[in-house]
Amino acid sequence: MSSKTANPIMHSAAWRISLWATLAFAIGTMLVFAMLHRFVANDIQRRSDAWLTGEVAVLGDVAGRTPKDRLYGRVVREVAELASREVPNKLRSNGNENDSVFFLQAGDSGSAKLWVGSGDGTANLAAIRSTRVLPDVPFDLRVQGFGSPFRVASVRIEDGSNIYLGLSEHDELHVLRNLRVRFFTLWVAIVLLGFVIVFYATWKMLGRVSEITEAASRIGQSDLSSRVPDTRGNDEIGHLARTLNHMLDRIESTVHQLHTITNSLAHDLRSPLTAIRGKLETVLASDVREDHAESIVSAIDELDRLTEFLNTSLDVAEARADALRLSRVEVDLDELVRGMIDLYEPSMNDKGIGIQIRSAGSVKVLADPALLHRVIANLLDNELKHLPVSCLVCVSLRADDHMATLTVEDNGPGFDAEIGRHLFERRVKGRASRGHGLGLAFVEAVVRVHGGSVTAVNRHEGGAQLTVTLPLCEVQKREEPHAFALLNG
């Protein structure tokens, strides 16, 4: 159990919901960014391609028209340098040294005819020659010695040589990298924030649900008059709470009806019984003949048995319908059982029956002591009435696994096989029994109302064994604050 409760947050539904929601949110935003990134990258490329093709066309035009004299190189170089100052996406960072643009005029073979740019251009020419170039379409070019690739546009001029204009993609990549870094930081922040918000919201929401569950189970256990809190909201949880309360209203009214019926039945029968008994006693007090007195006494006895039967059968009926009123307090079963045995031991010894108790000490349960007294009295009465001479009754009490277990066993003849299965039904009794057959039905009903169970078996080695379990006190105490502690966090 301790491993399950070690980290209650990690095992809550709110935690799982938040994890999944955050995952979905993270993937979704990542996809949106990937699309945006792609769009931005394409757009930047399109702009630089447009600039490159425009400029290279101008340069081709200039190169074509300029006479091929000594000034040719200077003119074209001037124009190329001018063009490089209008580079798009330019960050103007690395001083005057302009290594982001190069201009190259070269034939299909041989060295460069004209070179404008940093370095001597041989590496660029070699890279161009080793790349398969489609005419009029800008292409990417990796040049040895440069960190970033170049975007290159080319044009063929009349003298058969090619003019290449290259633009470093350094700035473009820098912009995109910046975009990615910023996005990623923002993304992490948003995902974390989203997780916190979703977790908080579901935690609150599910907290209301567990509050309702807690209240409902408390109502189920003890009093029917209280109601589930949190009926204000107009959301699903508010509906749930109101529906539960509505159901409780109906249950309460049914139980109340049962109380009314049993109470009026009891009242209507008891008043005449009281009157009859009183009159018989009054007659008995006056001078009557011995034989008349005898029959009056036996009539009184019969009346008392009738009363006891009436009481017990109404108790059983109410207990079966979960309508028995309990006034629960902390009861030490060990003390209670020892008290009962003190009461019963002399009678048992008189009949030649031995009784012993095995108990390791105090076993606390939350129960109605008056009803428990009657339950144990019933069990011991049973032994006293049905056991033959020189048998032994052993009462053992132990606490394990949140339950108190009380076992009453004997080495007598055991239960009749034919009634074994119906032992806890009303009016079932052995043929030799003089009782009203309600004893064990009462025991079972009362124990069940307390959240326990009763089993009866015949032992292998002979004799009957009756086992009563009742929930221990500590368990009920521990559960309640635990559930609420989670909600308020």
Partner 1 sequence: MQLLLVEDELEIQRFLKQSLTDAGYEVDTATDGRAAAELASGKRYDVLIVDLGLPDQDGIDLILKLRQSGVSSPVLILSARRSVDDRVKGLEQGGDDYLTKPFALAELLARLRNLLRRNLAASEEASRLRVLDLELDFIRRRASRGGEVLNLSPQEFVLLEYLCRHAGRVVTRSMLLSEVWGMRIQPDTNVVDVHIYRLRGKVDIEGREPLIKTLRGIGYVLKDR
Report the residue number, 135 or 272, with the smaller CB distance to partner 1. 272
Pairing of strands 162-168, 150-156: antiparallel
One residue of 344, 415, 424, 442 binding partner 1 per CB under 8 A: 344
Q: CA-to-CA distance for 302 and 47, rounded, in angstroms? A: 112
Report the residue number, 159 or 281, with the smaller CB distance to partner 1. 281
Report the residue number, 203 or 344, with the smaller CB distance to partner 1. 344
Tokens of 306: 């009738």
At closest approach, how far in Å is the CB of 268 from partner 1?
Answer: 9
Report the residue number, 238 or 435, with the smaller CB distance to partner 1. 435
Place of tokens 């948003």: 190
Report the residue number, 59 or 317, with the smaller CB distance to partner 1. 317
Report the residue number, 171 or 318, with the smaller CB distance to partner 1. 318
Place of tokens 């009657």: 374
Tokens of 235: 């959301």
At closest approach, how far in Å is the CB of 361 from partner 1?
Answer: 20
One residue of 159, 308, 330, 474 binding partner 1 per CB under 8 A: 308
Q: CA-to-CA distance for 231 and 244, rounded, in angstroms? A: 10
Are 424 and 455 spatial neighbours (Cβ–Cβ below 8 Å)? no
**Subset of 228-287 contacting partner 1 (CB under 8 A):** 262-263, 266-267, 270-279, 281-282, 285
One residue of 62, 143, 237, 324 binding partner 1 per CB under 8 A: 324
Terminal alpha carbon distance of the chain: 21
**Subset of 284-303 contacting partner 1 (CB under 8 A):** 285, 297, 300-301, 303
Query: Does position 93 bind partner 1 by CB under 8 A?
Result: no
One residue of 5, 347, 362, 455 binding partner 1 per CB under 8 A: 347
Q: Vertex 265, ends 261 and 268: CA angle to 5°?
A: 135
Report the residue number, 94 or 274, with the smaller CB distance to partner 1. 274
Q: CA-to-CA distance for 206 and 198, rounded, in angstroms? A: 12
206: which residues sit within 8 A by CB, 6+ positions away? 12, 13, 14
Are 468 and 405 spatial neighbours (Cβ–Cβ below 8 Å)? yes
Span interacting with partner 1, options 128-136, 334-342, 445-453, 477-485, rule CB under 8 A: 334-342
What is the DSSP code string of 165-218?
Answer: EEEESHHHHHHHHHHHHHHHHHHHHHHHHHHHHHHHHHHHHHHHHHHHHHHHHH
What is the contact surface with partner 1 in residues (CB under 8 A)?
262-263, 266-267, 270-279, 281-282, 285, 297, 300-301, 303, 305, 307-308, 311, 314-315, 324-325, 327, 339-340, 342-344, 346-347, 350, 370, 373-374, 377, 381, 384-385, 435
